[in-house]
Amino acid sequence: MSRVEETPNVSAAAPMMSVESPVAAGGPAHLSVVPPAAQTSPNPAPESAPPATRADAPKAGAGSKADGKGGDGKGEGARSGLDIEAFSQNLAQMVDEGSKALAAYLGPRTQAKTDDLADEIADALKTVGQVAEYWMTDPQRSLEAQTRLMTGYLSVWTNTLKRLGGEKVEPVTAPDAKDARFKDEGWRESPIFDALKQAYLVTTRWAEEMVEQAEGLDAHTKHKAGFLVKQVTNAISPSNFVMTNPELIRETFSSSGENLVNGMKNLTRDLVAGNGSLKIRQTDMSAFEVGRNLATTPGKVIYENDLMQLIQYEATTGSVKKMPLLIVPPWINKFYILDLTAEKSFIRWLVDQGISVFVISWVNPDARLAEKGFDDYMREGIMAALDKVAVATGERQAHAMGYCVGGTLLATTLAYMAATGDDRIASATFLTTQIDFTHAGDLKVFVDEDQLAAIERKMKQTGYLEGSKMASAFNMLRSNDLIWPYVVNNYMKGKAPFPFDLLFWNADSTRMPAANHSYYLRNCYLTNNIARGLAELSGVRIDMTKVNVPVYSLATREDHIAPPNSVFIGANMLSGPVRYVLAGSGHIAGVVNPPAKMKYQYWADGPTGPSYDLWLQGAQEHKGSWWPDWLNWFSSYYPEDVPARPIGGGHFTPIEDAPGRYVREKS
């Protein structure tokens, strides 16, 4: 499924002050430390996210002056607004806190804990080495590559000298307009920081070109090398370091270094929470609790087995649709992404529209479930749930809705049922679901035979894949949104991340049973056997073309997990009527988009055929959420209403209140 691709902008406006550059004091070049009146607003947070940092900046350190006249009012410290005494005290405290962070990191390793990174590092070096080999085996080619890089640097240097002399010049290169790392005015106003930014961008684009222009590499190796290069260049951005980021310099001066003390405390806290591994907080985890202010739609757990609990939600209308709905969430994440706060809850909205909603809540598995495979999730998950839905409602058939990998499981289950003559699923909805994985995006860089063998060796030792491994992989897909802004905010600005429900869910990871995860990676990402008709479930060959029930297939336009073209290709494999709809935004916000907010848009009714691009050209754009469109589609197939059903239909004794205990189990 997903890790979050829609994140708040963690750049918060810091107190501004004027700091002269020691290089050009008194001349036209200054460190661009912009006074408050000249500040521009931070880049608006994408999607529905609030700003991810607390609005109040850290208080100045001991002895600092609110008016900026630090210390005794003498010397350079006073002219810059820096309280030297407080700064010195805070530096000493930072060193002390740093020793605690080091202890938190080393402590578990004295107890035989290892980082377990040898396989990943070896694979990365092997991949990048193939690119380097292409350039270094031909001296002329290598010289030309170096010349291009040096030419870029010289151009930046020449422009910088001109700016220092008071000339106005066009930049050699500029960041993308959506790149929030360089939104601060200091990156433009100061020739020094502008040169640093441009030199970084020249280096980044040169490195990307080295990968793109390397010949003789297979597509997977080139894709993986490009991904690795992007991770490295994102990590070394000057925006990530105190001494090369004008905003962080202002933050440090204005608080007399207390931000660094607070940042080191945050680092220690996160290392302790990760048992020696850095567990970067993206939100205030104390602000939310499942069942208290998340996943609060009233309902009951009416059935459970080793793999799942089945939740039925209480009707809020006098009558309901005769056709019940069974939701199959991904097991890679927890189901309450569809039941966040009340105003964002898709499940609550469905119930309020008069639909009898049942949801599978997958267990967070441990070593005891190591042998549970894809077919077990089909039989003990979807099929067991269908049995109970039929008893609770009196309806032999149900509509099934699958989200991401839950949708992939649902699609293969439909193919299995078609092959075995089982028609209990009358129709289906797929939310950002891939069936064909040919164009599965950047997640494919993590899957090849060598990497899979390494993963399977680790899973054999534990019986499962730790949830943090998948979380890290998803975060790396958008490291400039999901990793580095929080490194800067938490450890350099020393601020606490803002409470945000979606990021709380994102951090609430789950484990994957060894057998199930291996089947999924091999038959989807590695071999694409499900789409090719070569996969089997419980001894039955899976043929997706045999699925002929009506289908509503939703993709999202900015999806990094299930790209819209990939979803489109999979939907076109099915033989029944398919309504393909494209929502604005990404894998999460494009799906969890309540109509009341009137955010984003969706496209529908493009020309049928195999071409996604042609479909998009002819599709009609509609403002707002796709939810009402789905309801109209569903109602057109199932217009009949019946009196509201009691939970369990008189046949089940509720086990516990929703959301149940399975979803509360932490990894």
Q: Which residues are catalytic?
A: 404
Q: Is 284 exposed, middle or buried (0-12, 13-18, 19+ CB in 10 A)?
A: middle
Q: Is 494 exposed, middle or buried (0-12, 13-18, 19+ CB in 10 A)?
A: buried
* 656 φ, ψ (degrees, to nearest 5): -165, 170
Are residues 508 and 16 in contact, defined by beta-carbon separation less than 8 angstroms?
Answer: no
* 83 φ, ψ (degrees, to nearest 5): -85, 105
The two tokens of residue 386 are 């269908």
Residue 163: DSSP 8-state: H
Q: Tokens 């939100």 belong to which residue?
A: 283
Question: How many Cα atoms are found within 13 Å in the side-chain-facing hemisphere of 413?
Answer: 30
CA atoms of 234 and 478, how far apart (whole Å)? 10
Q: At what angle do helices 219-235 and 118-136 cross, to 10 degrees?
A: 110
* 145 φ, ψ (degrees, to nearest 5): -65, -45
Amino acid letter, 77: G
The string over 384-417, giving b where at least 16 C-beta atoms fall within 10 Å of a residue's C-beta and e elsewhere, is bbbebbbbbbebebbbbbbbbbbbbbbbbbbbbb
* 580 φ, ψ (degrees, to nearest 5): -95, 130
Peptide bond into 659 cis (omega under 30): yes
Are residues 664 and 294 in contact, defined by beta-carbon separation less than 8 angstroms?
Answer: no
Cα–Cα–Cα angle for 347, 502, 443, nearest 5°? 100
* 325 φ, ψ (degrees, to nearest 5): -120, 130
* Nearest residue to 17 via CA among 88, 83, 74, 75: 83
Query: What Rg do the C-alpha atoms of the chain give, in angstroms?
Result: 27
The string over 362-382, giving b where at least 16 C-beta atoms fall within 10 Å of a residue's C-beta and e elsewhere, is bbbbeeebbebbbbbbbbebb
